[in-house]
Structure 1
Amino acid sequence: MKTRLMALGAQEVRFFFWLVAHNEKRTIAFLSRQISRMGDGPLYALIGLGLWLFEPVSGQLFFYTGLVAYALELPLYWVLKNSIKRDRPCHKMTGFEALIEPSDKFSFPSGHTAAAFVFATVLTSFYPVLLIPAYLLASLVGLSRVLLGVHYPTDILAGMVVGLTCALTALAIV
Protein backbone atom coordinates (compact mmCIF):
# COMPACT_ATOMS: atom_id res chain seq x y z
CA MET A 1 0.00 0.00 0.00
CA LYS A 2 2.78 2.42 0.92
CA THR A 3 4.52 1.67 -2.38
CA ARG A 4 1.34 2.52 -4.31
CA LEU A 5 0.99 5.82 -2.45
CA MET A 6 4.61 6.68 -3.20
CA ALA A 7 4.06 5.83 -6.88
CA LEU A 8 0.95 8.02 -6.97
CA GLY A 9 2.90 10.84 -5.36
CA ALA A 10 5.67 10.52 -7.93
CA GLN A 11 3.14 10.53 -10.78
CA GLU A 12 1.50 13.63 -9.35
CA VAL A 13 4.84 15.45 -9.13
CA ARG A 14 5.59 14.52 -12.77
CA PHE A 15 2.15 15.78 -13.82
CA PHE A 16 2.71 18.96 -11.78
CA PHE A 17 5.99 19.67 -13.58
CA TRP A 18 4.42 18.88 -16.96
CA LEU A 19 1.71 21.48 -16.26
CA VAL A 20 4.11 24.07 -14.87
CA ALA A 21 6.34 23.69 -17.94
CA HIS A 22 3.57 25.38 -19.95
CA ASN A 23 3.94 28.50 -17.86
CA GLU A 24 7.20 29.35 -19.59
CA LYS A 25 5.06 31.16 -22.12
CA ARG A 26 4.39 34.69 -20.88
CA THR A 27 0.77 34.68 -22.04
CA ILE A 28 -0.12 31.59 -20.03
CA ALA A 29 1.64 32.97 -16.94
CA PHE A 30 -0.23 36.27 -17.29
CA LEU A 31 -3.59 34.54 -17.80
CA SER A 32 -2.94 32.22 -14.86
CA ARG A 33 -2.34 35.22 -12.59
CA GLN A 34 -5.50 36.98 -13.77
CA ILE A 35 -7.71 33.90 -13.44
CA SER A 36 -6.28 33.17 -10.01
CA ARG A 37 -7.06 36.74 -8.90
CA MET A 38 -10.66 36.25 -10.02
CA GLY A 39 -10.81 33.44 -7.46
CA ASP A 40 -9.60 35.61 -4.56
CA GLY A 41 -13.18 36.22 -3.38
CA PRO A 42 -14.21 39.86 -3.91
CA LEU A 43 -15.68 39.07 -7.32
CA TYR A 44 -17.98 36.45 -5.77
CA ALA A 45 -19.13 38.92 -3.11
CA LEU A 46 -19.70 41.64 -5.71
CA ILE A 47 -21.78 39.35 -7.95
CA GLY A 48 -23.74 38.03 -4.97
CA LEU A 49 -24.45 41.53 -3.70
CA GLY A 50 -25.41 42.70 -7.18
CA LEU A 51 -27.86 39.83 -7.60
CA TRP A 52 -29.28 40.40 -4.11
CA LEU A 53 -29.90 44.09 -4.89
CA PHE A 54 -30.97 43.95 -8.52
CA GLU A 55 -32.39 40.50 -9.31
CA PRO A 56 -35.85 40.32 -7.74
CA VAL A 57 -36.73 36.69 -8.49
CA SER A 58 -33.89 34.66 -6.94
CA GLY A 59 -31.17 37.17 -6.07
CA GLN A 60 -31.84 37.35 -2.35
CA LEU A 61 -32.09 33.57 -1.93
CA PHE A 62 -28.93 33.14 -4.02
CA PHE A 63 -27.08 35.58 -1.75
CA TYR A 64 -28.18 33.89 1.47
CA THR A 65 -27.43 30.42 0.11
CA GLY A 66 -23.96 31.62 -0.84
CA LEU A 67 -23.42 32.99 2.67
CA VAL A 68 -24.37 29.63 4.19
CA ALA A 69 -22.14 27.77 1.70
CA TYR A 70 -19.11 29.94 2.46
CA ALA A 71 -19.85 29.74 6.21
CA LEU A 72 -19.44 25.96 5.81
CA GLU A 73 -16.55 26.03 3.35
CA LEU A 74 -14.18 28.45 5.08
CA PRO A 75 -13.87 26.65 8.44
CA LEU A 76 -13.72 23.23 6.77
CA TYR A 77 -10.98 24.41 4.41
CA TRP A 78 -9.06 25.99 7.30
CA VAL A 79 -9.29 22.88 9.52
CA LEU A 80 -8.20 20.57 6.68
CA LYS A 81 -5.35 22.83 5.60
CA ASN A 82 -4.00 23.26 9.11
CA SER A 83 -4.48 19.60 10.09
CA ILE A 84 -2.96 18.00 7.00
CA LYS A 85 -0.16 20.61 6.66
CA ARG A 86 0.98 19.62 3.19
CA ASP A 87 3.81 21.86 2.06
CA ARG A 88 3.27 23.82 -1.12
CA PRO A 89 5.32 22.74 -4.15
CA CYS A 90 7.17 26.05 -4.12
CA HIS A 91 8.19 25.47 -0.48
CA LYS A 92 9.02 21.77 -0.80
CA MET A 93 10.99 21.49 -4.03
CA THR A 94 14.53 22.81 -4.09
CA GLY A 95 15.21 25.18 -6.96
CA PHE A 96 11.56 25.66 -7.85
CA GLU A 97 9.90 29.05 -7.49
CA ALA A 98 6.22 29.86 -7.77
CA LEU A 99 5.10 32.72 -9.97
CA ILE A 100 3.20 34.26 -7.03
CA GLU A 101 3.67 34.36 -3.28
CA PRO A 102 1.00 32.20 -1.64
CA SER A 103 -1.02 33.72 1.18
CA ASP A 104 -0.32 30.86 3.58
CA LYS A 105 2.08 27.97 4.10
CA PHE A 106 0.06 24.87 3.28
CA SER A 107 -1.47 23.63 0.05
CA PHE A 108 -4.09 20.93 0.76
CA PRO A 109 -6.89 21.63 -0.11
CA SER A 110 -6.90 24.57 -2.50
CA GLY A 111 -9.04 27.32 -0.98
CA HIS A 112 -9.30 29.18 -4.28
CA THR A 113 -10.68 26.06 -5.94
CA ALA A 114 -13.06 25.31 -3.07
CA ALA A 115 -14.45 28.86 -3.21
CA ALA A 116 -14.75 28.73 -7.01
CA PHE A 117 -16.73 25.49 -6.89
CA VAL A 118 -18.95 26.81 -4.09
CA PHE A 119 -19.77 29.80 -6.25
CA ALA A 120 -20.28 27.78 -9.45
CA THR A 121 -22.54 25.26 -7.74
CA VAL A 122 -24.72 27.81 -5.97
CA LEU A 123 -24.85 30.05 -9.06
CA THR A 124 -25.91 27.27 -11.41
CA SER A 125 -28.53 26.02 -8.97
CA PHE A 126 -30.31 29.35 -9.35
CA TYR A 127 -29.22 30.20 -12.90
CA PRO A 128 -28.74 26.89 -14.79
CA VAL A 129 -28.03 28.65 -18.08
CA LEU A 130 -24.63 29.63 -16.58
CA LEU A 131 -23.57 26.01 -15.93
CA ILE A 132 -20.84 25.76 -18.57
CA PRO A 133 -19.18 29.15 -18.00
CA ALA A 134 -19.41 28.85 -14.20
CA TYR A 135 -17.81 25.43 -14.00
CA LEU A 136 -15.30 26.30 -16.72
CA LEU A 137 -14.19 29.32 -14.70
CA ALA A 138 -14.04 27.28 -11.47
CA SER A 139 -11.90 24.67 -13.23
CA LEU A 140 -9.63 27.36 -14.67
CA VAL A 141 -9.17 28.89 -11.21
CA GLY A 142 -7.98 25.50 -9.97
CA LEU A 143 -5.71 24.95 -12.97
CA SER A 144 -4.25 28.44 -12.58
CA ARG A 145 -3.16 27.60 -9.02
CA VAL A 146 -1.14 24.64 -10.31
CA LEU A 147 0.29 26.64 -13.22
CA LEU A 148 1.39 29.34 -10.77
CA GLY A 149 3.27 26.69 -8.79
CA VAL A 150 1.40 26.97 -5.48
CA HIS A 151 -0.68 23.75 -5.60
CA TYR A 152 -0.43 20.12 -6.64
CA PRO A 153 -3.21 18.64 -8.79
CA THR A 154 -4.68 16.69 -5.83
CA ASP A 155 -4.98 19.96 -3.88
CA ILE A 156 -7.26 21.15 -6.67
CA LEU A 157 -9.27 17.94 -6.66
CA ALA A 158 -9.72 18.18 -2.88
CA GLY A 159 -10.73 21.84 -3.16
CA MET A 160 -13.33 20.90 -5.76
CA VAL A 161 -14.78 18.22 -3.46
CA VAL A 162 -14.86 20.62 -0.49
CA GLY A 163 -16.55 23.32 -2.57
CA LEU A 164 -19.15 21.01 -4.09
CA THR A 165 -19.93 19.41 -0.73
CA CYS A 166 -20.37 22.72 1.07
CA ALA A 167 -22.48 24.21 -1.71
CA LEU A 168 -24.77 21.19 -1.93
CA THR A 169 -25.11 21.14 1.85
CA ALA A 170 -26.03 24.84 1.85
CA LEU A 171 -28.58 24.27 -0.90
CA ALA A 172 -30.14 21.47 1.16
CA ILE A 173 -30.24 23.69 4.28
CA VAL A 174 -31.66 26.77 2.59
Structure 2
Amino acid sequence: MWQKLDSLDRNAMTRLQQMPGQAVWKPTARGISLSGDGAGYLLFAILMAETGGARGVTFLLAGLAAFAVELPLYWLLKNSLKRCRPCHVMGDVVATVQPHDKFSLPSGHSAAAFIFASLLAWYWPPLAPLAFAWASLVGLSRVLLGVHYPGDVLAGATLGLWAAQLGLSWVA
Protein backbone atom coordinates (compact mmCIF):
# COMPACT_ATOMS: atom_id res chain seq x y z
CA MET A 1 0.00 0.00 0.00
CA TRP A 2 2.78 2.45 0.93
CA GLN A 3 4.50 1.77 -2.39
CA LYS A 4 1.30 2.60 -4.28
CA LEU A 5 0.86 5.85 -2.33
CA ASP A 6 4.52 6.73 -2.88
CA SER A 7 4.12 6.09 -6.61
CA LEU A 8 1.03 8.33 -6.76
CA ASP A 9 2.89 11.03 -4.85
CA ARG A 10 5.89 10.88 -7.18
CA ASN A 11 3.71 10.99 -10.30
CA ALA A 12 1.76 13.99 -8.99
CA MET A 13 5.03 15.66 -8.05
CA THR A 14 6.45 15.18 -11.53
CA ARG A 15 3.32 16.59 -13.18
CA LEU A 16 3.23 19.63 -10.92
CA GLN A 17 6.91 20.33 -11.50
CA GLN A 18 6.35 20.27 -15.26
CA MET A 19 3.57 22.87 -15.27
CA PRO A 20 4.14 25.72 -17.70
CA GLY A 21 4.65 29.27 -16.47
CA GLN A 22 7.30 28.57 -13.84
CA ALA A 23 8.60 32.13 -14.11
CA VAL A 24 5.25 33.28 -12.70
CA TRP A 25 4.22 30.57 -10.28
CA LYS A 26 7.56 29.87 -8.59
CA PRO A 27 7.96 33.41 -7.17
CA THR A 28 4.28 33.41 -6.22
CA ALA A 29 4.66 30.03 -4.51
CA ARG A 30 7.72 31.31 -2.67
CA GLY A 31 5.76 34.30 -1.33
CA ILE A 32 2.83 32.13 -0.25
CA SER A 33 5.19 29.68 1.44
CA LEU A 34 6.88 32.54 3.27
CA SER A 35 3.48 33.69 4.57
CA GLY A 36 3.24 30.29 6.28
CA ASP A 37 6.50 30.59 8.19
CA GLY A 38 6.11 30.33 11.96
CA ALA A 39 6.76 33.72 13.54
CA GLY A 40 3.71 35.39 12.02
CA TYR A 41 1.28 33.08 13.81
CA LEU A 42 2.44 34.07 17.27
CA LEU A 43 2.63 37.77 16.41
CA PHE A 44 -0.90 37.71 14.98
CA ALA A 45 -2.24 35.79 18.00
CA ILE A 46 -0.64 38.23 20.44
CA LEU A 47 -2.07 41.15 18.49
CA MET A 48 -5.51 39.53 18.62
CA ALA A 49 -5.16 38.91 22.36
CA GLU A 50 -4.30 42.59 22.86
CA THR A 51 -7.05 43.99 20.65
CA GLY A 52 -9.71 41.29 20.32
CA GLY A 53 -10.99 41.08 23.87
CA ALA A 54 -11.86 37.72 25.41
CA ARG A 55 -12.17 36.11 21.97
CA GLY A 56 -8.64 37.22 21.09
CA VAL A 57 -7.25 35.84 24.36
CA THR A 58 -8.91 32.45 23.86
CA PHE A 59 -7.68 32.44 20.25
CA LEU A 60 -4.12 32.87 21.57
CA LEU A 61 -4.57 30.18 24.24
CA ALA A 62 -6.13 27.70 21.81
CA GLY A 63 -3.26 28.34 19.40
CA LEU A 64 -0.65 27.78 22.10
CA ALA A 65 -2.37 24.54 23.14
CA ALA A 66 -2.66 23.33 19.54
CA PHE A 67 0.97 24.07 18.73
CA ALA A 68 2.07 22.46 22.03
CA VAL A 69 0.52 19.22 20.75
CA GLU A 70 1.39 19.57 17.06
CA LEU A 71 5.08 20.44 17.27
CA PRO A 72 6.27 17.39 19.24
CA LEU A 73 4.10 15.07 17.13
CA TYR A 74 5.39 16.68 13.95
CA TRP A 75 9.02 16.14 14.99
CA LEU A 76 8.32 12.59 16.20
CA LEU A 77 6.64 11.64 12.92
CA LYS A 78 9.21 13.37 10.74
CA ASN A 79 12.16 11.79 12.48
CA SER A 80 10.53 8.35 12.77
CA LEU A 81 9.21 8.05 9.22
CA LYS A 82 12.31 9.66 7.66
CA ARG A 83 10.80 10.18 4.23
CA CYS A 84 13.36 11.95 2.06
CA ARG A 85 12.30 15.15 0.39
CA PRO A 86 11.47 14.96 -3.33
CA CYS A 87 14.24 17.42 -4.17
CA HIS A 88 16.74 15.00 -2.59
CA VAL A 89 15.63 11.82 -4.35
CA MET A 90 13.90 12.80 -7.59
CA GLY A 91 16.36 13.97 -10.20
CA ASP A 92 13.79 16.10 -12.02
CA VAL A 93 12.75 18.01 -8.87
CA VAL A 94 14.80 20.99 -7.78
CA ALA A 95 14.04 22.82 -4.54
CA THR A 96 13.38 26.50 -5.06
CA VAL A 97 13.76 27.17 -1.32
CA GLN A 98 16.14 25.74 1.23
CA PRO A 99 14.35 23.02 3.24
CA HIS A 100 14.51 23.39 7.01
CA ASP A 101 15.58 19.76 7.45
CA LYS A 102 16.12 16.63 5.38
CA PHE A 103 12.80 14.83 5.89
CA SER A 104 9.44 15.66 4.36
CA LEU A 105 6.60 13.77 6.08
CA PRO A 106 4.54 15.51 7.42
CA SER A 107 4.66 19.06 6.09
CA GLY A 108 5.14 21.39 9.05
CA HIS A 109 4.08 24.43 7.01
CA SER A 110 0.81 22.69 6.19
CA ALA A 111 0.20 21.62 9.78
CA ALA A 112 0.76 25.13 11.09
CA ALA A 113 -1.32 26.77 8.37
CA PHE A 114 -4.25 24.44 9.04
CA ILE A 115 -4.05 25.05 12.79
CA PHE A 116 -4.17 28.77 12.13
CA ALA A 117 -6.99 28.49 9.56
CA SER A 118 -9.03 26.28 11.89
CA LEU A 119 -8.69 28.69 14.79
CA LEU A 120 -9.54 31.69 12.61
CA ALA A 121 -12.59 29.83 11.31
CA TRP A 122 -13.72 28.95 14.84
CA TYR A 123 -13.32 32.41 16.36
CA TRP A 124 -14.16 34.50 13.27
CA PRO A 125 -16.39 32.29 11.05
CA PRO A 126 -16.69 34.77 8.15
CA LEU A 127 -12.93 34.34 7.62
CA ALA A 128 -13.20 30.54 7.19
CA PRO A 129 -13.24 30.37 3.37
CA LEU A 130 -10.31 32.75 3.04
CA ALA A 131 -8.36 31.08 5.87
CA PHE A 132 -8.71 27.57 4.45
CA ALA A 133 -7.99 28.74 0.90
CA TRP A 134 -4.79 30.37 2.17
CA ALA A 135 -3.80 27.25 4.18
CA SER A 136 -4.35 25.09 1.08
CA LEU A 137 -2.19 27.42 -0.98
CA VAL A 138 0.58 27.23 1.62
CA GLY A 139 0.52 23.45 1.28
CA LEU A 140 0.46 23.59 -2.52
CA SER A 141 3.33 26.07 -2.52
CA ARG A 142 5.52 23.59 -0.64
CA VAL A 143 4.90 21.02 -3.37
CA LEU A 144 5.51 23.50 -6.18
CA LEU A 145 8.75 24.59 -4.53
CA GLY A 146 9.96 20.98 -4.61
CA VAL A 147 10.31 20.35 -0.87
CA HIS A 148 7.20 18.23 -0.21
CA TYR A 149 5.12 15.57 -1.89
CA PRO A 150 1.34 16.09 -2.04
CA GLY A 151 0.93 13.31 0.55
CA ASP A 152 3.21 15.19 2.97
CA VAL A 153 0.90 18.18 2.68
CA LEU A 154 -2.21 16.07 3.26
CA ALA A 155 -0.60 14.49 6.33
CA GLY A 156 0.43 17.91 7.65
CA ALA A 157 -3.03 19.37 7.07
CA THR A 158 -4.60 16.42 8.90
CA LEU A 159 -2.21 16.85 11.82
CA GLY A 160 -2.96 20.57 11.94
CA LEU A 161 -6.74 20.08 11.87
CA TRP A 162 -6.53 17.47 14.61
CA ALA A 163 -4.25 19.62 16.81
CA ALA A 164 -6.52 22.65 16.36
CA GLN A 165 -9.56 20.61 17.44
CA LEU A 166 -7.67 19.40 20.49
CA GLY A 167 -6.53 22.92 21.35
CA LEU A 168 -10.08 24.21 20.99
CA SER A 169 -11.46 21.43 23.18
CA TRP A 170 -9.06 22.41 25.95
CA VAL A 171 -9.70 26.16 25.76
CA ALA A 172 -13.07 26.96 24.18
Which TM-score tier does this pair reach, normalised by the shorter chain? Answer: over 0.9
Structure 1 residue 25 displacement after superposition: 2.0
**Shift of residue 84 of structure 1?**
0.3
Give yes or no for the alignment of 1:110 onto 2:107: yes
Unaligned runs of at least 5 residues, structure 1:
none
Q: Given the alignment, which residue of 159, 165, 168 partners 1:168?
A: 165
Once superposed, which parts of structure 1, at least 4 consecutive aligned residues long, lie more than 3 Å away? Answer: none
**8 Å contact from structure 2 (residues 108, 156) kept in 1:** yes
Do the aligned partners of 2:14 and 2:93 also contact (CA within 8 Å) in 1? Answer: no
1:163 Cα deviation after fit? 0.2
Partner of 2:39: 42
Q: Is the 8 A contact 2:82 2:103 kept in 1?
A: yes
- Cα deviation for residue 41 of structure 1 reads 1.1
One-letter identity of the residue aligned with 1:19: L
Counterparts of residues 132-171 of structure 1 (less than 5 Å): 132-171=129-168
Q: In the alignment, what sits opposite 1:53? A: 50
Aligned residues: 171
1:22 deviates by 2.4
Unaligned runs of 5+ in 2: none
**CA contact 2:66–2:115 (8 Å) conserved in 1:** yes
TM-score, structure 2 length as denominator? 0.95
CA deviations 1:27-65 (Å, max 9, x no partner) are: 100010000011111221121111011111401111111
CA contact (8 A) 1:65 1:171 kept: yes
Query: 1:7 and 1:66 mapped to 2: Cα distance?
Result: 35
Are the counterparts in 2 of residues 22 and 147 from structure 1 also a CA contact under 8 Å?
no
TM-score, L = length of structure 1: 0.94
The alpha-carbon deviation at position 122 of structure 1 amounts to 1.1
Q: Match of 1:17, as an amino acid?
A: T
The percent identity for this pair of structures is 46
Superposed CA RMSD in Å reads: 1.3
Corresponding residue SS for 1:19: helix
* 1:135-169 deviations in Å (ceiling 9; x for gaps): 00000000000000000010000001100010001
Confirm or deny that 1:7 pairs with 2:13. no
Q: 1:23 touches 1:147 (CA, 8 Å); kept in 2?
A: no
**d(CA) in 2 for partners of 1:52, 1:115:** 19
